A and B are shown apart, each in its own frame.
Chain A
Amino acid sequence: MAILETNKVSKQYQMGEVTVDALSEVDFVVEEGEFVAVMGPSGSGKSTLLHLLGGLDKPTDGEVTLAGRKLSLLSDREVTVMRRHNVGFVFQFYNLIPTLTAEENIALPLLIDGKKLKDYQDRIDKLLDLVGLTERRHHRPDQLSGGEQQRVAIARALVTEPAIVLADEPTGNIDSKTGEGILSVLRKSCDELGQTIVLVTHDPKAASYADRVVFLRDGRIIDEVRLEGTKDPKDILARLAELEL
């Protein structure tokens, strides 16, 4: 089932007298449980696309359908509520509250929604475990490394069990080794929780963690590729030999 769909979505910006086409008639479908990467150089329109997908911005033309609802038919207020319940965001910067612990930062979306935390302790524990921060749950952001802060941000994005997680260059601000940890956590949340994820990135390595990579150039989707892993772990050695590493 498609959880997210765009139908001929275009976005134009006015730069003085010039009209810039940031996106041109983009048709993009994300199936439930899929991890999709949108890959393109800077200026290709990938962040614009992400903002439209998450209802942070409105298309000039076309329609975005999220979890079965056409965003153009909703009021601003309805879009905000829709976003809070159905979209988890992960950005390059973590935007954590400095005075709250890791655990409290993760729980924040639930508090904003007026939920009772004790009803959700199991979920929070599970997420702390998934992102590998159980031991550091009581640490504040300034006591955590960049990679750990980003993992808090990921758990916070997952805590409402959103229909989709939208990640914008989540490894853009950290070194490559730490970045691998972040990408593995995203991969795991897809594999173990069935979380649907859209990741936008310029980095092929980040994109390679996805199930499918869509290539964006000058505001258009020009190509895509499906990525599949080694199904049988017993074949690993044979496969490595084939790849002639």
Chain B
Amino acid sequence: MYIIEMGIKHALLGLLSKKPMHGYELKAEFDKTVGKLWSLNIGQVYATLNRLEKEGYITGKHIEQETRPNKRIFSITEEGRKEFLRWLLKPVEKPRRLKDDFYIKLTLLNAGRVVDVRALIWEQRKAYLRVLHELNEIKGSLDPATAPLLLLLVEGGILHTEADLKWLDICEERLLGGEN
């Protein structure tokens, strides 16, 4: 998933800035935090750790174990800490969903002339309403005391979906004009 591709490197750096860990430990820590939302397999963890090591952001140390295979404990380097902080402080500049799939459909609509723009907008509106209904319900089921961050995420989702619905109103008004 997109977010993972972009964020996994710094997520792992962030976890290692708390304490040195080996691969499976890292995966468990990841699962405990963001991993609930974005699943990550152990292969991705090791591939990313390799990359981070090559870039000099972490170092690995072999630990010999008698009964089990040897493992490597990874620690963050000074360079790694700097890189994590740089990423943390840099604002996220990509506006969400600017290249919305629905927009792409609108631009391609004229190519086929087989689909009615009105139908396209209505079906999209219904889909967003279903999402909004679900998010309202999820929001209602979350306890602000135990899941404050998740609640914020859901509230963000609600605001974005509301904006998507308003944008559809504008699409309808502009593209269909006085027709309806």
Contacts and interface: CB of A to CB of B under 8 A. Distances in A.
Interface residues on B, range: 35 or more
Contacts of A209: 133, 136
B129 A208 contact: yes
B133 A205 contact: no
Interface stretch (B21-29, B46-54, B66-74, B149-157): B149-157
Interface in A225-240: 225, 227-230, 233, 236-237, 239-240
A245 B133 CA distance: 15
A173 to B, nearest CB: 19
Interface residues on A, range: 20 to 34
B129 A230 contact: no
Contacts of B3: 244
Interface of A: 183-184, 187, 204-205, 207-210, 213, 215, 217-218, 223, 225, 227-230, 233, 236-237, 239-241, 243-245
Nearest to A233: B141
Given A208-B132, A241-B38, A245-B153, A236 B138 contact: yes
A111 B129 CA distance: 40
Given A208-B133, A236-B138, A237-B37, 9 more contacts: A204-B128, A205-B132, A205-B165, A210-B133, A217-B180, A225-B129, A228-B130, A240-B138, A245-B157
Interface centre among A183, A208, A227, A239 (most CB of B within 10 A): A208
Nearest to B131: A243
* Main SS at interface, chain B: helix
Interface of B: 1-3, 36-39, 122, 125-126, 128-138, 140-142, 150, 153-154, 156-158, 160, 162, 165-166, 180
B2 to A, nearest CB: 8
Contact of A223 (B122, B131, B136, B156): B122
A245 to B, nearest CB: 4
Nearest to B164: A204
A239 B132 CA distance: 13
Interface centre among A233, A237, A240 (most CB of B within 10 A): A240
A54 to B, nearest CB: 25
